[in-house]
Amino acid sequence: MNRIVLLVSFAGAVLLSGCSSKLLPKATAYKGFYEEKPVSVLIMPPINKTANVDAKEFFHTTLNVPLANAGYYVIPPFLSMEILKQESAYDAELFLEAPLSKFGDVFGADLALFTIIHRWEKASLLGTITVEIEYLFKSVKTNEVVYQRRGQINVNNANTNYGQSSPLGLLIGLVATAVQTAATDHAVVGLACNNATLQDLPAGKYSPLNGNDAKQAAGEKVFKMSINGNAVATQNMAVWYSKYTKSK
């Protein structure tokens, strides 16, 4: 039930944000994909522009799932991170404007995915998490940006289930909100952000839609979305996560 709510709210939010401007077809917005037909993607270490030191590592482990689900071969993230570190190539910012051919030679990559974390903020009492992440796919052959989107996502955990009529009720509501915001798994937020942004990625080699989605609408290049955190951090996940972190 929660999943359906989440899917609907995604779809609804994306539709709403699209209504105000004309959307290009994917074949136009992402023509590099349809011209080159890339097969494999190298995930570059996320570029963290925030004061939140943990943002980068929390985000890194969520990126390969949507890429693989879109039909791409994703170069193994743990292995590739290790090799990048050994080659002193871990600071992806150094490569944003540099030639990428070496990554084709070493990793067999056709595309490099750069992510820039612009914002990653938690306001526990308000119950909101705000993230702003930019995704850039660059062709390793041509060094051109073939896909670029930037999304601001608000995850709203504000717990309105408790009565506002008594001080105790208000306090319980505040605490529940703070706890849920604190426990809302960073991986969950990362996943939600990825899905919201990458839902318009052209279908890769292993997808049955490969080559057939050229006329579908690409999303807006810059967008905002609000997600109900109660749907994102389902009870099972929050409980699992809090049990796991307590065992430290």
Binding site for another protein (CB under 8 A): 3, 6-7, 10-11, 39-40, 54, 57-58, 60-62, 64-66, 68-80, 82-83, 105-108, 185-188, 190-192, 195, 198-199, 203, 206-207, 209, 213, 216, 234, 236-237, 240-241, 244, 247-248
Q: Which is nearer to another protein, 63 or 178 (CB)?
A: 63
For the CB of residue 69, give the shortest distance to another protein in the complex, in Å.
Answer: 5
Q: What element of type H or E holds 168?
A: helix 167-183
Residue with tokens 């290790």: 82
Contact 26, 97 (CB under 8 A): no
Q: Which two tokens stand for residue 116?
A: 């820039």
Residue 48 Cβ, how far from another protein at the closest point, in Å?
A: 14
Q: Which is nearer to another protein, 70 or 153 (CB)?
A: 70
Specify the 3-state DSSP secondary structure of 198.
helix
Q: Which is nearer to another protein, 173 or 219 (CB)?
A: 219
- Please compute, for residue 142, the number of CA atoms within 13 A of its CA located in the half-sphere on the CB side: 12
Residue 143 burial (CB count, 10 A): 14
* Beta-ladder partners of 148: 136
We find the least distance from the C-beta atom of residue 27 to another protein, in angstroms, to be 15
Q: Which is nearer to another protein, 73 or 162 (CB)?
A: 73
Alpha-carbon separation of residue 38 from 35, 45, 72, 83, 110 (angstroms): 9, 20, 8, 22, 5
Smallest separation, CB 93 to another protein (Å): 20
- Closer to another protein by CB, 40 or 115: give it: 40
Tell me the three state secondary structure of residue 131: strand
Report in angstroms how near the CB of residue 222 gets to another protein at its nearest. Answer: 20
Quote the least distance from Cβ 199 to another protein, whole Å: 6
Amino acid type, 34: Y
Tokens 């208000």 — which residue? 170
Distance of CA 84 to the CA centre of its chain: 21
Of the pair 2, 130, the CB lying nearest another protein is at 2
Instruction: State how far Cα 184 lies from the chain centre.
Output: 15
